[in-house]
Structure 1
């Protein structure tokens, strides 16, 4: 089994850290001593799912990755601002990873709510991204940067 979720998490962390104006934690408890219960504002790269889509010539998956944003500023503006920064860094961009090809993450859903403590704002974003294991296709000479299925392509049985 290939751990596509970890690859997306690493690529998202690299893409987010220069653009989001609050600390980004690479999973709960993995940051620079940050405590999501005390350090605000904060972005945490959280849960993921992977639907494997292996073929005879490619190994890949469709991955969803959840980002959490916490703020204790009054109102929702700060949390939404950090979410907007993450959107600009990720949506329809191509985050890089040394061993995997990530294709155009799309923001699938987002929400901002007040946590039960009444003072913490909690924003959540979920992104969907296609991931291909680059070394498999490259090793076999099966694909390059332009050999990715285009939604506008049609199948030509005579080819």
Structure 2
């Protein structure tokens, strides 16, 4: 029994990094750990939560993972555009999860845009659910 958490993160990073439309908006600024003084806009792959998704014949994981976008645009428009680009990128062919894992299902859980504590930065949060078998 193993976890697909890192393999899922790698697959998401690869998909988002190789999307031309998303890259035209955020460049190559897609992070696990965001460097200090990173210019806006950018993305960060957030915190996963895993629950057991076992069957009689396989081990599996039900993983909820957040993708965050950060924008300094005056309104929320840029954050909404970035969230749409992420959804479009992930709506293509199914993610290929490495390490012998198989993606069974993928869906959106929730999405919102908030104004960060500084009162200026727009913070988009997209929660995704992945069912992955070992």
Provide TM-score, normalisation by structure 2: 0.84
Residue 14 in structure 1 maps to residue 14 in structure 2? yes
Give me the whole-angstrom Cα distance separating, in 2, the residues matched to 1:64 and 1:92: 19
1:70 matched residue in structure 2: 70
Question: What is the root-mean-square deviation of aligned Cα atoms in Å?
Answer: 1.8
Which structure has more relative contact order (CA 8 Å, sep 6+)? It is 2
User: Aligned with 2:66: secondary structure?
Assistant: strand
Q: Deviations over 1:91-113 (max 9, x none)?
A: 47511122211134211100001
User: Is the 8 Å Cα contact of residues 105 and 132 (structure 2) preserved in structure 1?
Assistant: no
**Other-structure match for 1:103:** 104
Per-residue Cα deviation, 1:30-71 (whole angstroms, up to 9, x for no partner): xxxx33x54211100011111112234212111111011001
Residue 94 of structure 1 aligns to a residue in which SS? coil
- SS of corresponding position for 2:57: coil
Q: Whose Rg is larger?
A: 1
Is contact 1:92–1:104 with CA below 8 Å preserved after alignment? no
Higher strand share: 2
Q: Which 5+ residue runs of structure 2 have no aligned equivalent? A: none
How many residue pairs get matched?
Answer: 127
Q: 1:108 to 1:92 in 2, by over 3 A?
A: farther
Unpaired segments ≥5 residues, structure 1: 134-159
Q: Find the aligned partners of 2:123 and 2:133 in 1 and give their Cα distance.
A: 32
